[in-house]
Chains A and B, each alone.
Chain A
Amino acid sequence: MTTDDMRTDIITVFSEVFGVAPEGVGDDAGPATIDGWNSVRHVELVVALEERFDCMFDPEEVPELTSLQRIEEILRRHG
Protein backbone atom coordinates (compact mmCIF):
# COMPACT_ATOMS: atom_id res chain seq x y z
CA MET A 1 0.00 0.00 0.00
CA THR A 2 1.40 3.40 -0.97
CA THR A 3 1.56 6.33 1.43
CA ASP A 4 -1.20 8.06 -0.53
CA ASP A 5 -3.43 4.98 -0.50
CA MET A 6 -3.01 4.57 3.24
CA ARG A 7 -3.74 8.24 3.87
CA THR A 8 -6.85 8.09 1.68
CA ASP A 9 -8.09 5.04 3.56
CA ILE A 10 -7.48 6.66 6.96
CA ILE A 11 -9.35 9.77 5.83
CA THR A 12 -12.24 7.58 4.68
CA VAL A 13 -12.36 5.97 8.13
CA PHE A 14 -12.25 9.43 9.76
CA SER A 15 -15.06 10.56 7.53
CA GLU A 16 -17.22 7.57 8.42
CA VAL A 17 -16.55 7.68 12.16
CA PHE A 18 -16.77 11.42 12.75
CA GLY A 19 -19.20 12.32 9.98
CA VAL A 20 -16.90 14.92 8.40
CA ALA A 21 -16.22 15.52 4.72
CA PRO A 22 -12.95 13.87 3.55
CA GLU A 23 -11.64 17.23 2.32
CA GLY A 24 -12.13 18.58 5.85
CA VAL A 25 -9.64 16.09 7.30
CA GLY A 26 -6.24 17.79 7.37
CA ASP A 27 -2.87 16.95 8.89
CA ASP A 28 -3.95 18.63 12.10
CA ALA A 29 -7.04 16.42 12.47
CA GLY A 30 -7.32 15.38 16.10
CA PRO A 31 -9.51 15.60 19.20
CA ALA A 32 -8.95 19.37 19.35
CA THR A 33 -10.02 20.02 15.75
CA ILE A 34 -12.74 17.46 15.05
CA ASP A 35 -16.03 17.95 16.84
CA GLY A 36 -17.21 14.96 18.84
CA TRP A 37 -13.84 13.20 19.07
CA ASN A 38 -14.47 11.88 22.57
CA SER A 39 -13.65 8.60 24.30
CA VAL A 40 -16.56 6.71 22.75
CA ARG A 41 -15.82 7.97 19.23
CA HIS A 42 -12.16 7.12 19.75
CA VAL A 43 -13.17 3.52 20.40
CA GLU A 44 -15.11 3.53 17.13
CA LEU A 45 -12.06 4.95 15.36
CA VAL A 46 -9.74 2.29 16.79
CA VAL A 47 -12.08 -0.56 15.84
CA ALA A 48 -12.72 0.88 12.35
CA LEU A 49 -8.98 1.30 11.69
CA GLU A 50 -8.27 -2.26 12.89
CA GLU A 51 -10.97 -3.64 10.61
CA ARG A 52 -9.89 -1.55 7.63
CA PHE A 53 -6.17 -2.35 7.98
CA ASP A 54 -6.60 -5.86 9.42
CA CYS A 55 -4.41 -5.23 12.44
CA MET A 56 -4.61 -5.13 16.22
CA PHE A 57 -3.13 -2.10 17.98
CA ASP A 58 -1.02 -2.69 21.09
CA PRO A 59 -2.39 -1.25 24.35
CA GLU A 60 0.27 1.47 24.36
CA GLU A 61 -0.57 2.48 20.78
CA VAL A 62 -4.30 3.06 21.32
CA PRO A 63 -3.94 6.41 23.16
CA GLU A 64 -1.42 7.53 20.52
CA LEU A 65 -3.93 7.35 17.66
CA THR A 66 -4.82 11.02 17.93
CA SER A 67 -3.67 12.54 14.67
CA LEU A 68 -3.59 11.60 11.01
CA GLN A 69 0.20 11.62 10.97
CA ARG A 70 0.57 9.51 14.13
CA ILE A 71 -1.97 6.98 12.87
CA GLU A 72 -0.01 6.65 9.65
CA GLU A 73 3.24 6.07 11.55
CA ILE A 74 1.71 3.40 13.76
CA LEU A 75 -0.02 1.63 10.88
CA ARG A 76 3.32 1.53 9.00
CA ARG A 77 4.80 -0.35 11.97
CA HIS A 78 2.07 -2.93 11.56
CA GLY A 79 3.06 -3.30 7.90
Chain B
Amino acid sequence: MSIVTLETAAPGAVFDFLETTVSRRGPEHWRWKYQLDRGLPGRAFYHAASDGTVGGFVGLLPTTLHAGTTTARAAWFVDWATRPGDGSVGIGVGLLRRAEAATDVLLTLQGSADTRAILPKLRWQSTDTPATWVRRLSAKSLVERGPLRASALRVPARVAGRIVERFSRVTRPESGDLALEEVERFAPSYDAVWERRRVEFAPLMERSSAQLNFMCADYPGGGYRCLLVRDRDEIAGHVVLRVDENGGSRRGRIIDALWERARAGAAEWLVHSATWLLQECGVDYIECTASTDDLQQALRACRFRRRHAVPVWYHRLPAGVPTPDTWFITYLDCDRAYR
Protein backbone atom coordinates (compact mmCIF):
# COMPACT_ATOMS: atom_id res chain seq x y z
CA MET B 1 0.00 0.00 0.00
CA SER B 2 1.25 3.46 -0.75
CA ILE B 3 0.34 7.11 -1.09
CA VAL B 4 0.81 8.22 -4.69
CA THR B 5 0.95 11.69 -6.27
CA LEU B 6 -1.81 12.23 -8.84
CA GLU B 7 -0.48 12.61 -12.37
CA THR B 8 -2.00 12.64 -15.84
CA ALA B 9 -1.15 8.97 -16.28
CA ALA B 10 -2.88 7.90 -13.05
CA PRO B 11 -4.90 4.70 -13.43
CA GLY B 12 -8.54 4.99 -14.37
CA ALA B 13 -9.44 3.58 -10.96
CA VAL B 14 -8.47 6.92 -9.40
CA PHE B 15 -10.86 8.89 -11.58
CA ASP B 16 -13.56 6.26 -11.03
CA PHE B 17 -13.04 6.73 -7.29
CA LEU B 18 -13.38 10.53 -7.66
CA GLU B 19 -16.56 10.19 -9.71
CA THR B 20 -18.21 7.62 -7.43
CA THR B 21 -16.97 8.66 -3.98
CA VAL B 22 -16.24 12.40 -4.22
CA SER B 23 -18.60 13.90 -6.82
CA ARG B 24 -19.64 13.38 -10.43
CA ARG B 25 -17.76 16.22 -12.08
CA GLY B 26 -16.37 14.58 -15.20
CA PRO B 27 -12.76 14.25 -16.37
CA GLU B 28 -12.47 17.88 -17.51
CA HIS B 29 -13.12 19.07 -13.96
CA TRP B 30 -10.35 16.91 -12.46
CA ARG B 31 -7.89 17.89 -15.20
CA TRP B 32 -8.60 21.57 -14.53
CA LYS B 33 -8.59 21.35 -10.75
CA TYR B 34 -5.37 19.39 -10.49
CA GLN B 35 -3.75 21.02 -13.53
CA LEU B 36 -3.00 17.61 -15.01
CA ASP B 37 -2.44 18.95 -18.52
CA ARG B 38 0.09 21.47 -17.27
CA GLY B 39 2.32 18.96 -15.55
CA LEU B 40 2.11 20.61 -12.13
CA PRO B 41 2.63 17.74 -9.69
CA GLY B 42 1.89 17.66 -6.00
CA ARG B 43 -1.70 18.92 -6.17
CA ALA B 44 -3.40 15.69 -5.15
CA PHE B 45 -2.60 12.33 -3.58
CA TYR B 46 -4.36 8.99 -3.49
CA HIS B 47 -3.94 5.79 -1.56
CA ALA B 48 -3.42 2.68 -3.66
CA ALA B 49 -3.52 -0.90 -2.34
CA SER B 50 -1.23 -3.52 -3.84
CA ASP B 51 -4.13 -4.78 -6.00
CA GLY B 52 -4.70 -1.29 -7.39
CA THR B 53 -7.76 -0.51 -5.29
CA VAL B 54 -7.99 3.17 -4.45
CA GLY B 55 -8.60 3.62 -0.72
CA GLY B 56 -8.75 7.39 -0.51
CA PHE B 57 -7.98 10.75 -2.04
CA VAL B 58 -7.04 14.28 -1.02
CA GLY B 59 -6.66 17.25 -3.34
CA LEU B 60 -5.04 20.65 -2.88
CA LEU B 61 -5.81 24.06 -4.31
CA PRO B 62 -2.41 25.70 -3.88
CA THR B 63 -2.12 29.45 -3.43
CA THR B 64 0.10 31.98 -1.71
CA LEU B 65 -0.77 33.65 1.57
CA HIS B 66 0.32 37.29 1.66
CA ALA B 67 0.68 38.71 5.15
CA GLY B 68 2.53 42.03 5.21
CA THR B 69 6.13 41.34 4.28
CA THR B 70 5.66 37.60 4.78
CA THR B 71 4.46 35.16 2.15
CA ALA B 72 3.79 31.48 2.71
CA ARG B 73 2.87 28.55 0.49
CA ALA B 74 -0.70 27.72 1.34
CA ALA B 75 -3.30 25.24 0.09
CA TRP B 76 -6.97 24.56 0.67
CA PHE B 77 -7.56 20.85 0.90
CA VAL B 78 -10.57 19.56 -1.03
CA ASP B 79 -12.07 16.25 -2.18
CA TRP B 80 -10.88 14.47 0.98
CA ALA B 81 -12.55 11.07 0.91
CA THR B 82 -11.94 7.43 1.72
CA ARG B 83 -13.52 4.27 0.43
CA PRO B 84 -16.51 3.43 2.65
CA GLY B 85 -16.00 0.53 5.04
CA ASP B 86 -13.80 -0.59 7.92
CA GLY B 87 -10.83 -1.30 5.64
CA SER B 88 -10.11 2.39 5.15
CA VAL B 89 -9.38 3.46 8.75
CA GLY B 90 -6.32 5.64 8.88
CA ILE B 91 -6.14 6.24 5.15
CA GLY B 92 -7.74 9.68 5.42
CA VAL B 93 -5.34 10.78 8.14
CA GLY B 94 -2.38 9.40 6.20
CA LEU B 95 -3.44 11.38 3.16
CA LEU B 96 -3.95 14.52 5.24
CA ARG B 97 -0.43 14.13 6.66
CA ARG B 98 0.89 13.83 3.09
CA ALA B 99 -0.97 17.01 2.16
CA GLU B 100 0.45 18.82 5.20
CA ALA B 101 3.95 17.95 4.06
CA ALA B 102 3.29 19.50 0.63
CA THR B 103 2.68 23.04 1.86
CA ASP B 104 3.44 25.49 4.66
CA VAL B 105 -0.17 26.27 5.54
CA LEU B 106 -2.91 23.70 5.01
CA LEU B 107 -6.50 24.86 5.38
CA THR B 108 -10.06 23.94 4.73
CA LEU B 109 -13.38 25.74 4.96
CA GLN B 110 -16.56 24.52 6.61
CA GLY B 111 -15.89 20.79 6.31
CA SER B 112 -18.22 17.81 6.44
CA ALA B 113 -19.42 16.32 9.73
CA ASP B 114 -16.56 13.79 9.55
CA THR B 115 -14.04 16.54 8.89
CA ARG B 116 -15.30 18.56 11.84
CA ALA B 117 -15.07 15.47 14.05
CA ILE B 118 -11.58 14.47 12.98
CA LEU B 119 -9.67 17.75 12.63
CA PRO B 120 -9.86 18.83 16.30
CA LYS B 121 -8.48 15.45 17.32
CA LEU B 122 -5.49 16.16 15.07
CA ARG B 123 -5.00 19.46 16.95
CA TRP B 124 -6.41 21.58 14.13
CA GLN B 125 -8.05 24.85 15.14
CA SER B 126 -10.83 26.86 13.58
CA THR B 127 -12.06 30.41 13.45
CA ASP B 128 -15.64 31.45 12.79
CA THR B 129 -14.91 34.96 11.53
CA PRO B 130 -15.96 34.54 7.86
CA ALA B 131 -19.70 34.41 7.35
CA THR B 132 -22.14 34.04 4.51
CA TRP B 133 -24.45 37.02 3.99
CA VAL B 134 -27.70 36.83 2.05
CA ARG B 135 -29.99 39.32 0.35
CA ARG B 136 -33.34 38.00 -0.85
CA LEU B 137 -34.84 39.65 -3.91
CA SER B 138 -37.71 37.68 -5.39
CA ALA B 139 -41.12 37.05 -3.84
CA LYS B 140 -40.37 33.33 -4.14
CA SER B 141 -37.17 33.67 -2.13
CA LEU B 142 -38.77 35.95 0.44
CA VAL B 143 -41.65 33.53 1.00
CA GLU B 144 -39.74 30.25 0.93
CA ARG B 145 -36.56 31.18 2.75
CA GLY B 146 -36.98 34.68 4.10
CA PRO B 147 -38.80 36.25 7.04
CA LEU B 148 -42.24 35.32 5.66
CA ARG B 149 -41.60 31.57 5.66
CA ALA B 150 -43.22 31.08 9.06
CA SER B 151 -46.57 32.20 7.75
CA ALA B 152 -49.18 29.46 7.96
CA LEU B 153 -51.15 31.04 5.16
CA ARG B 154 -49.20 30.49 1.96
CA VAL B 155 -51.38 32.59 -0.33
CA PRO B 156 -51.31 35.73 1.84
CA ALA B 157 -47.60 35.12 2.29
CA ARG B 158 -47.13 35.05 -1.49
CA VAL B 159 -49.06 38.29 -1.87
CA ALA B 160 -47.05 39.82 0.93
CA GLY B 161 -43.89 38.49 -0.74
CA ARG B 162 -44.74 40.31 -3.98
CA ILE B 163 -45.29 43.55 -2.08
CA VAL B 164 -42.04 43.16 -0.18
CA GLU B 165 -40.29 42.26 -3.44
CA ARG B 166 -41.39 45.55 -4.96
CA PHE B 167 -39.85 47.45 -2.06
CA SER B 168 -36.77 45.20 -2.07
CA ARG B 169 -35.77 46.02 -5.64
CA VAL B 170 -32.26 47.32 -5.98
CA THR B 171 -32.00 50.70 -7.65
CA ARG B 172 -29.40 51.26 -10.33
CA PRO B 173 -26.25 52.65 -8.68
CA GLU B 174 -25.46 56.25 -9.43
CA SER B 175 -22.88 56.74 -12.14
CA GLY B 176 -19.89 58.63 -10.88
CA ASP B 177 -16.15 58.09 -11.03
CA LEU B 178 -16.50 54.37 -10.34
CA ALA B 179 -17.65 51.92 -12.99
CA LEU B 180 -17.55 48.20 -13.72
CA GLU B 181 -16.20 46.78 -16.97
CA GLU B 182 -16.79 43.11 -17.80
CA VAL B 183 -13.81 41.20 -19.22
CA GLU B 184 -13.39 37.61 -20.41
CA ARG B 185 -10.25 37.18 -18.36
CA PHE B 186 -7.80 39.28 -16.39
CA ALA B 187 -4.86 40.63 -18.38
CA PRO B 188 -1.33 40.38 -16.97
CA SER B 189 -1.42 44.18 -16.60
CA TYR B 190 -3.93 43.65 -13.76
CA ASP B 191 -1.05 42.41 -11.63
CA ALA B 192 0.11 46.00 -11.04
CA VAL B 193 -3.31 46.70 -9.48
CA TRP B 194 -3.13 43.45 -7.50
CA GLU B 195 0.27 44.49 -6.09
CA ARG B 196 -1.29 47.69 -4.71
CA ARG B 197 -4.41 46.01 -3.38
CA ARG B 198 -2.40 43.15 -1.86
CA VAL B 199 -0.68 45.56 0.52
CA GLU B 200 -4.03 47.06 1.56
CA PHE B 201 -5.91 43.79 2.03
CA ALA B 202 -3.26 41.49 3.51
CA PRO B 203 -3.47 38.98 5.05
CA LEU B 204 -5.15 37.38 2.05
CA MET B 205 -4.59 34.71 -0.54
CA GLU B 206 -3.23 35.30 -4.05
CA ARG B 207 -5.46 37.26 -6.42
CA SER B 208 -3.06 37.81 -9.31
CA SER B 209 -4.36 37.65 -12.88
CA ALA B 210 -3.08 34.07 -13.21
CA GLN B 211 -4.84 32.93 -10.04
CA LEU B 212 -8.10 34.75 -10.83
CA ASN B 213 -8.12 33.31 -14.34
CA PHE B 214 -7.45 29.81 -13.02
CA MET B 215 -10.18 29.99 -10.39
CA CYS B 216 -12.80 31.84 -12.45
CA ALA B 217 -12.20 32.38 -16.18
CA ASP B 218 -10.85 28.86 -16.78
CA TYR B 219 -13.35 27.01 -14.59
CA PRO B 220 -14.64 24.23 -16.88
CA GLY B 221 -18.28 24.73 -15.99
CA GLY B 222 -18.12 28.45 -16.77
CA GLY B 223 -20.54 30.77 -15.01
CA TYR B 224 -18.09 33.22 -13.46
CA ARG B 225 -18.30 36.85 -14.60
CA CYS B 226 -15.07 38.81 -14.31
CA LEU B 227 -15.30 42.58 -13.94
CA LEU B 228 -12.74 45.32 -13.52
CA VAL B 229 -13.44 48.22 -11.18
CA ARG B 230 -12.61 51.47 -12.97
CA ASP B 231 -12.01 54.70 -11.12
CA ARG B 232 -12.13 57.25 -13.94
CA ASP B 233 -9.27 56.18 -16.24
CA GLU B 234 -7.57 53.85 -13.79
CA ILE B 235 -8.26 50.24 -12.96
CA ALA B 236 -8.74 50.09 -9.20
CA GLY B 237 -9.77 46.49 -8.50
CA HIS B 238 -12.00 43.66 -9.56
CA VAL B 239 -15.28 41.90 -8.89
CA VAL B 240 -16.21 38.32 -9.73
CA LEU B 241 -19.88 37.28 -9.84
CA ARG B 242 -21.60 33.98 -10.46
CA VAL B 243 -25.17 32.90 -11.21
CA ASP B 244 -26.30 29.31 -10.86
CA GLU B 245 -29.30 27.19 -9.98
CA ASN B 246 -29.66 25.95 -6.42
CA GLY B 247 -32.60 23.93 -5.16
CA GLY B 248 -34.97 25.31 -7.78
CA SER B 249 -33.92 28.91 -7.20
CA ARG B 250 -31.67 31.16 -9.22
CA ARG B 251 -28.78 32.10 -6.98
CA GLY B 252 -26.40 34.99 -7.46
CA ARG B 253 -23.09 35.20 -5.68
CA ILE B 254 -20.55 37.91 -5.16
CA ILE B 255 -17.51 35.66 -5.40
CA ASP B 256 -14.74 38.17 -4.81
CA ALA B 257 -13.92 41.86 -4.85
CA LEU B 258 -10.95 44.11 -4.26
CA TRP B 259 -11.13 47.90 -4.33
CA GLU B 260 -9.11 50.90 -3.24
CA ARG B 261 -9.63 50.34 0.42
CA ALA B 262 -9.11 53.90 1.61
CA ARG B 263 -11.66 55.32 -0.85
CA ALA B 264 -14.75 56.27 1.14
CA GLY B 265 -17.89 54.53 -0.03
CA ALA B 266 -16.11 52.30 -2.55
CA ALA B 267 -16.99 49.01 -0.84
CA GLU B 268 -20.65 49.95 -0.54
CA TRP B 269 -20.77 51.14 -4.17
CA LEU B 270 -19.19 47.86 -5.26
CA VAL B 271 -21.68 45.69 -3.34
CA HIS B 272 -24.56 47.86 -4.57
CA SER B 273 -23.38 47.58 -8.20
CA ALA B 274 -22.82 43.83 -7.94
CA THR B 275 -26.25 43.36 -6.36
CA TRP B 276 -27.91 45.39 -9.10
CA LEU B 277 -26.12 43.41 -11.85
CA LEU B 278 -27.20 40.13 -10.30
CA GLN B 279 -30.76 41.38 -9.90
CA GLU B 280 -30.76 42.19 -13.61
CA CYS B 281 -29.85 38.52 -14.21
CA GLY B 282 -33.10 37.55 -12.49
CA VAL B 283 -31.65 35.93 -9.39
CA ASP B 284 -33.93 35.04 -6.49
CA TYR B 285 -31.30 35.80 -3.88
CA ILE B 286 -27.66 36.80 -3.54
CA GLU B 287 -24.97 35.39 -1.28
CA CYS B 288 -21.58 36.76 -0.33
CA THR B 289 -18.97 35.42 2.06
CA ALA B 290 -17.10 38.11 3.95
CA SER B 291 -14.63 38.17 6.82
CA THR B 292 -13.64 41.81 7.27
CA ASP B 293 -15.51 44.70 8.85
CA ASP B 294 -15.52 46.97 5.79
CA LEU B 295 -17.05 44.38 3.46
CA GLN B 296 -19.52 43.27 6.12
CA GLN B 297 -20.58 46.88 6.74
CA ALA B 298 -21.07 47.39 3.01
CA LEU B 299 -23.19 44.24 2.84
CA ARG B 300 -25.27 45.39 5.79
CA ALA B 301 -25.76 48.80 4.16
CA CYS B 302 -27.00 47.00 1.01
CA ARG B 303 -29.55 45.10 3.11
CA PHE B 304 -27.75 41.78 3.25
CA ARG B 305 -28.28 39.73 6.40
CA ARG B 306 -25.68 37.54 8.08
CA ARG B 307 -26.77 33.91 7.70
CA HIS B 308 -24.10 31.60 9.09
CA ALA B 309 -20.42 31.37 9.92
CA VAL B 310 -18.01 29.63 7.55
CA PRO B 311 -15.33 28.12 9.80
CA VAL B 312 -11.75 28.17 8.55
CA TRP B 313 -9.79 25.16 9.76
CA TYR B 314 -6.01 25.40 10.00
CA HIS B 315 -3.22 23.32 11.41
CA ARG B 316 0.06 25.13 11.76
CA LEU B 317 1.08 28.63 10.78
CA PRO B 318 4.63 29.75 9.97
CA ALA B 319 6.22 32.38 12.20
CA GLY B 320 4.98 35.86 11.39
CA VAL B 321 1.69 34.72 9.86
CA PRO B 322 -1.33 36.06 11.77
CA THR B 323 -4.21 33.73 12.62
CA PRO B 324 -7.02 33.38 10.02
CA ASP B 325 -9.50 35.47 12.01
CA THR B 326 -7.68 38.50 10.53
CA TRP B 327 -7.62 37.29 6.90
CA PHE B 328 -9.64 38.70 4.01
CA ILE B 329 -11.69 35.69 2.86
CA THR B 330 -14.42 35.48 0.23
CA TYR B 331 -16.08 32.83 -1.92
CA LEU B 332 -12.97 32.88 -4.08
CA ASP B 333 -11.32 30.98 -1.25
CA CYS B 334 -14.20 28.67 -0.52
CA ASP B 335 -16.64 28.36 -3.43
CA ARG B 336 -18.29 24.96 -3.43
CA ALA B 337 -17.66 24.76 -7.17
CA TYR B 338 -14.02 24.13 -6.32
CA ARG B 339 -14.76 21.42 -3.77
CB distance from A1 to the nearest CB of B (A): 24
Q: Which of A34-59 contact B (CB under 8 A)?
A: 37-40, 42-44, 46-47, 57-59
CB distance from A5 to the nearest CB of B (A): 25
- Residues of B near A59 (CB, < 8 A) are 3, 94-95, 97-98, 101
Closest to A40 in B: B117
A4 at the interface (CB under 8 A from B): no
- Residues of A near B93 (CB, < 8 A) are 39, 42-43, 46, 62-63
The answer to whether A66 touches B90 (Cβ under 8 A) is yes
- Residues of A near B2 (CB, < 8 A) are 60
- Residues of B near A44 (CB, < 8 A) are 121
Closest to B93 in A: A62
The answer to whether B97 touches A47 (Cβ under 8 A) is no
The answer to whether B118 touches A39 (Cβ under 8 A) is yes
The answer to whether A47 touches B122 (Cβ under 8 A) is yes
Closest to B123 in A: A47
Q: Which of B99-138 contact A (CB under 8 A)?
A: 101, 114, 117-118, 121-123
CB distance from A55 to the nearest CB of B (A): 13
C-alpha gap A40/B93 in the complex (Å): 10
B82 at the interface (CB under 8 A from A): yes
B177 at the interface (CB under 8 A from A): no
C-alpha gap A44/B93 in the complex (Å): 11
- Looking at A32, A39, A57, A65, the one whose CB has the most chain B CB atoms below 10 A away is A39
Q: Which of B60-118 contact A (CB under 8 A)?
A: 82, 86-95, 97-98, 101, 114, 117-118
CB distance from A23 to the nearest CB of B (A): 24
Q: Which applies to chain B's interface (DSSP): helix, strand, loop or mixed? A: helix
Closest to A37 in B: B89
Among B47, B87, B88, B90, which residue has its beta carbon within 8 angstroms of that of A65?
B90
B1 at the interface (CB under 8 A from A): yes
C-alpha gap A40/B118 in the complex (Å): 6
A31 at the interface (CB under 8 A from B): yes
C-alpha gap A42/B82 in the complex (Å): 14
C-alpha gap A39/B47 in the complex (Å): 15
B55 at the interface (CB under 8 A from A): yes
CB distance from A10 to the nearest CB of B (A): 15
Closest to B58 in A: A59
CB distance from A13 to the nearest CB of B (A): 14
The answer to whether A32 touches B86 (Cβ under 8 A) is yes
The answer to whether A63 touches B91 (Cβ under 8 A) is yes
C-alpha gap A38/B87 in the complex (Å): 9
C-alpha gap A22/B95 in the complex (Å): 30
C-alpha gap A43/B118 in the complex (Å): 7
Chain B 41-70 near chain A by CB (<8 Å), digits 1 or 0: 000000100000001000000000000000
A61 at the interface (CB under 8 A from B): yes
Among A40, A60, A65, which residue has its beta carbon within 8 angstroms of that of B121?
A40
- Residues of B near A64 (CB, < 8 A) are 1, 90
Among A31, A32, A58, A63, which residue has its beta carbon within 8 angstroms of that of B1?
A63
- Residues of B near A37 (CB, < 8 A) are 86, 89
C-alpha gap A39/B121 in the complex (Å): 11
C-alpha gap A47/B87 in the complex (Å): 19
Beyond A37-B86, A64-B1, A65-B90, 19 additional contacts (C-beta under 8 Å) are A31-B87, A32-B86, A38-B89, A39-B82, A39-B114, A40-B114, A40-B118, A40-B121, A42-B90, A43-B118, A47-B123, A58-B97, A59-B3, A59-B98, A60-B94, A63-B55, A63-B88, A63-B90, A63-B93
List A residues at the B interface (Cβ < 8 Å).
31-32, 37-40, 42-44, 46-47, 57-66
The 6 A-B pairs with the shortest beta carbon distances in the complex, nearest first, are A62-B94, A63-B90, A59-B98, A59-B97, A42-B89, A59-B94
Supply 10 A–B pairs (Cβ within 8 Å), ascending by A: A31-B87, A38-B86, A39-B114, A42-B90, A47-B123, A59-B97, A62-B91, A63-B88, A63-B94, A66-B90
